[in-house]
Amino acid sequence: MKPIPIEVGRIVVSKAGRDQGRRFVVLEEIDRDFVLVADGKLRTMERPKKKRRKHLKPTLEFAGDAARRLQNGEKIPDHELRAWTSKEEG
């Protein structure tokens, strides 16, 4: 089975740090080791969290059309991020 990629728009779960267990949306891929994530509550679009990929567990879920909108330079409202990340994992 192929590993699930950590890419823009994917819902991920933090595996390490004080935000362990919290769900985030991947906003940007910085390089091969780091991504920017936000949840719309503690980490907003204006203040995303820089996380190492190895500290994130990808889910099978995507945040709606977030990838397309982010690639077009659009900002996603925090209430949409909260809606996507508040759903239970599974």
pLDDT at 88: 59
Residue 21 backbone dihedrals phi, psi, to 5 degrees:
90, -10
Q: Domains (ranges, CATH) in the chain?
A: 10-86 (2.30.30.30)
Which uninterrupted H or E stretch holds 47?
none
DSSP 67: H
| pTM beyond cutoff 0.75 | yes
pLDDT in tens, 25-78: 999 999 999 999 999 999 999 999 999 999 999 999 998 888 899 889 899 999
pLDDT at 90: 44
- End-to-end alpha carbon distance in the chain: 18
Nearest to 29, CA basis, from 58, 3, 51: 51
Specify whether the CB–CB gap between 22 and 14 falls below 8 A.
Answer: yes
